[in-house]
A = this chain, B = another copy of it.
Amino acid sequence: MTETAYDATAEPTRPPAEPDHDVPADLPSPPGPLVAVPPAPRRSPAEEARTLVAGTRTATLATLSEDGTPWASLVMYGMLADGGLALMVSTLAEHGRNLERDPRASVAITPPSSGADPLQSPRVTLAGRVERPGPDDEAEVRAAYEEAVSAARVFGRFGDFSLWVLRVARVRWIGGFGVMGSDDAAAYAAAEPDPVAPTAERAIAHLNADHADSLLEMARTLAGYGDATAARCGGADRYGLSLEIETPRGAASARVAFAARVDAPDGLRAATVELARRARVAGA
């Protein structure tokens, strides 16, 4: 990923379409836009994964037990600069003995702020192998874990605990029902955590509470839903906003893109103001 601003009308960097759910014919599908609109970029699965990993400290680790069966267990982790996970586990725990015997592992990470419907909440699976940090990176790995888990400054001294690094080979991101994508090790290592993620929840609440008119104008003029009767913001990231739109034809979801990717942690407000202005001009 380049650090420069990009053309928001470019093709989004999404993976090819995946096979879709086998939906009964009598279920209605959401209405599309009334006019063609340029595709709006989104975070890639790797960016989604890096963002989730950066914003969370707990994961469920899947390892292989002695008889080859899978074993799921809670762990905490620290994040390394390349997105690898710093883990510290005890050989008193089954997962600790498992990693000593077989380095193949996977983690599922669900952010603590998951909504009322867990199946509609974002989560990610990372799969790869653990390895012991070497003399070059032992200090970085320990510091990353201790930053996430301050008690490790004590229990990290116990003789039964050891440090591991999960090197990520495969990424699977689930954004909600039917929203998903995969990425590989190189894409994951190159991706950045979204810098606006820590402020997104507050920004979304503010938009929905105080700027319903602007959101409706975005839905009508920028997302192609000229018949929208209401719009809520369902997500905000460095590339744009996700809208949940009501129309007489039914409910729909759409994306509206910022003029340029937001790189500053506090850049969401200015980008949203520009978007609202653009929607107003387009509707005038």
Tell me if B160 and A125 are in contact (CB < 8 A). no
- Asked if A42 is an interface residue, CB under 8 A from chain B, the answer is no
User: In the bound complex, do residue A127 and residue B65 qualify as a contact, i.e. CB atoms below 8 Å apart?
Assistant: yes
Determine if A177 and B157 form an interchain contact, defined as CB atoms under 8 angstroms apart. Answer: no
> Which residues, 144 to 189 on A, are CB-close (under 8 Å) to B?
149, 151, 154-155, 157-161, 172, 174, 177
Question: What B residues does A60 contact at CB under 8 A?
Answer: 60, 62, 72, 108, 110
A97-142 residues with Cβ-Cβ distance < 8 A to B are 104-108, 110, 117-119, 123, 125, 127
Q: Which residues of B contact A118 (CB under 8 A)?
A: 57-58, 74, 76
Q: In A61-101, which residues have CB < 8 Å from any B CB?
A: 61-65, 68-74, 76, 90, 92, 94
Taking CB atoms, residues of chain B closer than 8 Å to A151 are: 117, 119, 177
Interface size bucket, A side? 35 or more
Q: Among the listed stretches A15-23, A201-209, A224-232, A243-251, which one makes contact with chain B, having 4 or more residues with CB under 8 Å of it? A: A15-23
Check if A70 sits within 8 Å of B70, measured CB to CB. yes
Give, as a whole number of angstroms, the nearest-CB distance from A243 to chain B: 22
- B residues less than 8 Å from A123 (CB atoms): 73-74
CA separation between A65 and B172, bound complex, in Å? 13
- Known contacts A24-B158, A62-B63; can you find 8 more A-B pairs with CB under 8 A? A60-B72, A60-B108, A60-B110, A65-B127, A72-B72, A72-B106, A72-B107, A94-B172
Task: List the 9 closest pairs (A to B, CB-CB), nearest first.
Answer: A22-B159, A60-B60, A62-B62, A62-B70, A72-B108, A62-B72, A69-B104, A72-B106, A22-B160
